[in-house]
Structure 1
Amino acid sequence: MATHRNPLIIGAGPAGLTAALELVHRGVVPRIYEATEHVGGLARTPTAGQWRADPGGHRFFTQHEEIMDLWKELLPHDEWLAVPRRSAMLVDGHLVPYPLLGRELVTRLGFRSGMRGASGLMWSRFRRGMRAVEKEQTFREWGIEEFGKHWYRIFFDGYVRKTWLADPDSLSSDWANQRIKPIDWRRAGKRGDADDDVFRYPRLGPGQLWDAAAAALTDAGVTPSLNSPVVGLHHDGRQWNIELQNGDIAAGDAVFSSMPLQLLMHMLKPAPPKHIRAIAGTLRHRSLITVAVALSEHRDIPYNWVYTPGADCRVGRVQNYLRWSPALAPEGFTGTYLGLEYFTLPHDDLWLADDETLRAIVERDLQVLGVGDSSVQQLMTIRSQYAYPIYEAGRERNVVRIRDYLRENHPGLHPIGRNGMHRYDNQDHAMLSALRSVGRYFGEKVDPWLVNTGLGYHETGLLRS
C-alpha cells in the first residue's frame, strides 16, 4: 500500500472513476468529489420509476484492450447487449441512412438531387487535387471538400449550426475526420462483415457500468462524495488544497481534475497569468437537454438515431431507446420510447425554459417528426450543462498553451477526460487519459495528451466483444 500518496479527484464521471479504480489497483486510496448527486457524468442513466434514459446515446467500443478488460471486469457478460447501429438523417421528409451511401443519395432524394450532389462532389475533389499547400480548415471548408457543396448543405450545414450553435466558418474541422464518415460508394454486397457497426451496451443503460464502478470503489474503501462542488483550488508550495462549496478543505499531494478546464483555471490559486486566464475564458461548452418521451402507439423506427438537420424542428437528434435496450422501458411496454436531444448553451433561453415551455417545443417537434398524434405516457427531462466542448477556431492552440502552463507550474495537477482536457473524446478515450495520467503520477513516461490525437477516422479496428 502506497500510504505516502494522497491524491484527490474532482469529478465522478468516466474519467474520474477510472482514475480512482487505477489508483486503487496500484495500492493508493484517493478521495473523489462530485458536484452533482450522481456518478457517471453524461454517461449516467437517469430514472423515473421503471423508465430509464440515456442522455447522450452511448456506444461502447474501443481499440484498447485495457479499456475492454475494465468494462468486462465491472459488468458480467450477461449484462451486456450487442446492438447493431443504424442511423439516418431526416432530409426533406426522407430518412437517408447514415453513414451516407452513394446509392442511397440518389434513390432517396431523387435523380436530380443526386446528379447535383455528384457533380458538386467531383468539382470539390478536383479543387482539392489542385490545392498546393495543406492548411487548417474550417468545418465548412472541410465539409464542402469532403461531400461537395450540395450534399454538405443539405446534410451537414444546418445540423452543425443546430448542434454546435455556431457558424460552420467559425468552427475548426479537427473533430470532423474522427466523427463523420466519408460517403461509401461500394455496393451492399461488397461491404462485408467488417463494416457492420455493432457495439456493446449495458442492459440497463450506460450508468449501469458507472454505478458498478462506484460500487467497486466503495468496496475498496473509496466512496465518492456527491453534492460536493469544488469552488477553489490552491497549491501552497507543499500540497494541494481544494475548497468545497460547504467550506470544507481537502488536502492532497496531487489532483486529477475532470471539471471543465476553463473553470479549473479560474479557480486556481495562485491565479495564472492574465493571458492564460484570458485563453481559458475562450473555451466554451454546449449544453444538452434530453427529453425522454414514451408514446402509447408503436412506431416501427428501424434506427437508433435520427439526425434532424432541417430548420423546421428544434430538436437536433432523436434516440430510439428500445433499439438500445428494451430494459430502458418498463416490462410489457408496447409503445414508442424516444429521446429528443436539444443542444443549447449554458444560460441561454432554451436552457432557462420552464417545463411547460419545453414540453410545448417537444410536442411541436413530435408533430414535425410525424409521431405527434400518439398520446404521451411518460416524459422525463435531463439537463447536462457541460456536455460537449466546442471546437472553435484556435481551440487546439489555446488548450496547448494551458497544458504547457500547467506542466511547467503545476506538475501535480492532472486534467483528465472530455471536460478536463476540453476535447471531444468518447468514453474510452476519456478513460484512457485517466489511466495515462495515473501512470504519469507514478513517474511513467507517458503522455495523456497524446490520447486520441490521430486525424483518421477512429471507429476502425474496434474491440466489441
Structure 2
Amino acid sequence: MKTKVAIIGAGPAGLTAGYLLSKEDVDVVVLEADPVYVGGISRTVTYKGFHFDIGGHRFFSKSKGVEDLWTEILPNDMLVRPRSSRIFYDGKFFSYPLRPFEALLKLGIFRSALCIVSWLKARLFPVRNPRNFEEWVSNQFGKRLFNTFFKSYTEKVWGMNCKEISADWAAQRIKGLSLGSAIKNALIPQRYNGDRSKVIKTLINSFRYPRRGPGMMWEACAEKMKALGGKLEMGYRVTRCSYDEVSGNWTVEYKNRQGDLHTIEAEHIISSAPMRELTCGLSPAVSERTKRAAESLKYRDFITVMLILKDRQMFDDNWIYIHDPSVKVGRVQNFRSWSPEMVPEPDKVCYGLEYFCFEGDGLWDSTEHELIDLARRELMQIGLAKEGDFIDGCVVRQKKAYPVYDDDYARHVATIRLELETRYPNLHLVGRNGMHKYNNQDHAMMTAMLCVENILADAKLYNLWQVNSDAEYHEQGPAAAEETNGSALRLVPNRVVAAPELAPEA
C-alpha cells in the first residue's frame, strides 16, 4: 500500500493533521495502536454506559485557530461549562484558584496572620534569583501558603522534592498568578473580552466541553477525515520506519491485532509516537550517541480509578486537588460536573481518582481489585463517600502520560532533533510525546496544523519547536529564542542545576 502521508498515532495531533490534509485531497493513512479508542490521552473511556475523561480536558485555548477548528469539528455538541475546582487540605476544602479571604478564614485567625506575615516577608525580602520550585512559589505566595497549597500535590504528581524542581517550571505553569493577582481577581473577577492573549489560564471561570467528553471531539474528527478519503487503521502498532535515501520515500512496518506484519510506503511520516520508541525504531539506525539519548528519555505514568456511587451530592466541582500527604490520590474528578451526559443514571455519580506513578512501581503493578479498594478507602478518608455508597468501578492505566524533564533531557532532545532533521527528511514530530514536551492538546494541535502547512508548501515554513505552551507561534527573534530555550522545552519540572562554585581566593 502507498500513501502520501503516514501518520503514527490518532491523538489530537495525529487526527488534526489527518483531517486537515484530507481536506486538501492529500492521501493519508493514520495508524493507531489502540484497538478501540482514538484521542490518545484525550480519549473518553466508556464503562457500562458511563463516560470517563482521562485526565480532565478543558477546551480553552489562547489560539483562535485552535478554537475555530474545535467548532468546525464539533459544531453542535460543545457545552459551555463553569470551571469549579477546590483544594482539599487539613480536612477542609478551599476554592482554587485561591480566594484569599476564604482561604484565610478557613485557616483560622492565627494561621492566617502567620500566612500574611509570611507573604509580606516574601515581598519585602524575596529570594533573589529563585532556583527551585519552592523558592519561586514562596516568593509569590509566602512560605506558609506554599507549604499549605502547593508542596504536597506537586510532589505527588512528579515524584520529586520541590527543592529539586527548577523554578523555570513554576514560572511557566503558574504564569501570571500570585497572591496579589488572586486578591485582585477576588475583588475584580477576570472577564473574558475576546482577547485570549490577555487571559491568565489559571483564572478562567468557564470553558467549552464536548457533551460526551473529549473523545467525542476526536471520534468526530476521525469520521470527518474518513469521509474525506483519509484512512484510519485501529490496533496497528508501528514497529519500524525505514528511509530509502535513493527514492526519498519511507516504508512503515506495523503489526495488526493478530500480530501479522504489514508495510506501507509514504513520502512523509508525521509521528506523535513517543520520541524514544520512534528514534530507536528508525532504519538506517541512528548513531549510538543518539540512541543513548533516546533511551535516556523518561516518562511519568498515570492511573485513573473510576468509581460509580450512589449520588449523595457530596461535591459538584470538576475536580478536587488532594493536598493531603496521608493519601496517595492526587486529584478527584466528578464527571457529571464536566457534562451531565457523562453519567447516564440520575441517581448515581461517577468519580475518577487519579494516581501518579512510574510504570513498574508498586502502585502501577497493583491489581485492579487492589486499586479499586485503595480508591474506595481514600475517598471515604477524604470525606467524599460513605461505606454503602459504592456500586462499581474500573481502572484505566495510561503509560507515558507526562514526559519527564530530568537533568539532561534538553541535551538528549537536542541530540535527537539534530540527527533526525539531518538524516531523515520528511519525518515530522508533533504532539506531546512526539516532541517530548508536556503541553496541552491545543499545543499538540497547533504543531500538527503548522506541520500540514509545511507539507502542503513542500517547504519548512514553520519551525514546530517554536510553538509555545499557549499554542502560539513565535517567529525567529528574542521571543522565539526565549520560547525555544524556555517554556517550549520546559513544561515538566526539571531538577535544579547546582550553581557553579567560585574558586577560593588566593
Same fold (TM over 0.5): yes
Could you tell me whether the CA contact under 8 Å between 1:74 and 1:212 is conserved in 2? yes
User: Hey, what does 1:45 align to over in structure 2?
Assistant: 44
User: Hey, what does 1:346 align to over in structure 2?
Assistant: 359
Could you tell me whether the CA contact under 8 Å between 2:306 and 2:351 is conserved in 1? yes
Q: Which segment drifts farther, 240-249 or 197-206? A: 240-249
Q: Report the Cα distance in structure 1 between the residues aligned to 2:14 and 2:265, rounded to whole angstroms.
A: 17
Structure 1 segments unaligned to the other structure (5+ residues): 458-465
Matched, 1:100 2:98: yes
Query: Residues 143-170 of structure 1, C-alpha deviation per residue, up to 9 Å, x if partnerless?
Result: 3333322222222221111111223333
User: Hey, what does 2:466 align to over in structure 1?
Assistant: 450
Q: Provide the secondary structure at the position in 2 that maps to 1:73.
A: helix
In the TM superposition, 1:18-167 aligns within 5 A as 18-37=16-35, 38-77=37-76, 79-128=77-126, 131=128, 134=129, 137-167=131-161
Q: Residue type matched to 2:135 in 1?
A: E
Query: Residues 418-460 of structure 1, C-alpha deviation per residue, up to 9 Å, x if partnerless?
Result: 1111111111110001111122223152111111255789xxx
- 1:310 positional shift: 1.5
Q: Report the Cα distance in structure 2 between the residues aligned to 1:284 and 1:296, rounded to whole angstroms.
A: 39
Could you tell me whether the CA contact under 8 Å between 1:52 and 1:328 is conserved in 2? yes
- 1:336 positional shift: 2.8
Matched, 1:215 2:213: no
User: Hey, what does 2:280 align to over in structure 1?
Assistant: 266
Q: Residue type matched to 1:274 in 2?
A: E
TM-score where L is the length of structure 2: 0.83
Higher relative contact order (CA 8 A, sep 6+): 1
User: Hey, what does 2:249 align to over in structure 1?
Assistant: 239
User: Hey, what does 2:322 align to over in structure 1?
Assistant: 308
Task: Go from structure 1 to structure 2 and tell me whether the alpha carbon gap of 1:123 and 1:278 turns closer, same or farther (over 3 Å shift).
Answer: farther
- 1:72 positional shift: 1.1
Could you tell me whether the CA contact under 8 Å between 1:416 and 1:434 is conserved in 2? yes
Q: Report the Cα distance in structure 2 between the residues aligned to 1:431 and 1:96, rounded to whole angstroms.
A: 33
- 1:228 positional shift: 0.9
Could you tell me whether the CA contact under 8 Å between 1:322 and 1:329 is conserved in 2? yes
Q: Report the Cα distance in structure 2 between the residues aligned to 1:96 and 1:406, rounded to whole angstroms.
A: 47
Q: Residue type matched to 2:29 in 1?
A: R
Match of 1:169 among 143, 163, 174: 163
- 1:409 positional shift: 2.2
Q: Report the Cα distance in structure 1 between the residues aligned to 2:293 and 2:110, rounded to whole angstroms.
A: 47
Q: Provide the secondary structure at the position in 1 that maps to 2:333.
A: strand
Query: Residues 80-113 of structure 1, C-alpha deviation per residue, up to 9 Å, x if partnerless?
Result: 1111111111110111111123223311212222
Could you tell me whether the CA contact under 8 Å between 2:343 and 2:349 is conserved in 1? no
Query: Residues 152-204 of structure 1, C-alpha deviation per residue, up to 9 Å, x if partnerless?
Result: 22222211111112233333344433433323122734225346511000001
Q: Which segment drifts farther, 236-245 or 310-319? A: 236-245
User: Hey, what does 1:461 align to over in structure 2?
Assistant: none
Could you tell me whether the CA contact under 8 Å between 1:9 and 1:255 is conserved in 2? yes
Structure 2 segments unaligned to the other structure (5+ residues): 193-202, 470-482, 489-506
- 1:18 positional shift: 0.5
> Percent sequence identity over matched residues?
34
In the TM superposition, 1:222-371 aligns within 5 A as 222-237=230-245, 238-245=248-255, 246-330=260-344, 332-370=345-383, 371=385
Query: Residues 40-85 of structure 1, C-alpha deviation per residue, up to 9 Å, x if partnerless?
Result: 10111111222111111110011222212211111123x1111111
Could you tell me whether the CA contact under 8 Å between 1:143 and 1:152 is conserved in 2? yes
Q: Provide the secondary structure at the position in 2 that maps to 1:290.
A: strand
- 1:229 positional shift: 1.0
- 1:323 positional shift: 0.8
User: Hey, what does 1:462 align to over in structure 2?
Assistant: none
User: Hey, what does 1:373 align to over in structure 2?
Assistant: 387
Task: Go from structure 1 to structure 2 and tell me whether the alpha carbon gap of 1:318 and 1:312 turns closer, same or farther (over 3 Å shift).
Answer: same
TM-score where L is the length of structure 1: 0.90
Q: Report the Cα distance in structure 2 between the residues aligned to 1:87 and 1:394, rounded to whole angstroms.
A: 34
Q: How many residues align?
A: 448
Q: Which segment drifts farther, 182-191 or 343-352? A: 182-191
Q: Residue type matched to 1:65 in 2?
A: K
User: Hey, what does 1:423 align to over in structure 2?
Assistant: 437
Q: Provide the secondary structure at the position in 1 that maps to 2:235.
A: coil
Could you tell me whether the CA contact under 8 Å between 2:238 and 2:252 is conserved in 1? yes
Q: Provide the secondary structure at the position in 2 that maps to 1:231.
A: strand
User: Hey, what does 2:13 align to over in structure 1?
Assistant: 15
Could you tell me whether the CA contact under 8 Å between 1:287 and 1:343 is conserved in 2? yes
Q: Residue type matched to 2:49 in 1?
A: Q
Q: Provide the secondary structure at the position in 1 that maps to 2:394.
A: strand
Q: Report the Cα distance in structure 2 between the residues aligned to 1:119 and 1:405, rounded to whole angstroms.
A: 53
Q: Report the Cα distance in structure 2 between the residues aligned to 1:218 and 1:437, rounded to whole angstroms.
A: 20
Match of 1:188 among 175, 186, 189: 186
Could you tell me whether the CA contact under 8 Å between 2:447 and 2:464 is conserved in 1? yes
- 1:118 positional shift: 2.5
Task: Go from structure 1 to structure 2 and tell me whether the alpha carbon gap of 1:49 and 1:400 turns closer, same or farther (over 3 Å shift).
Answer: same
Q: Residue type matched to 2:241 in 1?
A: L
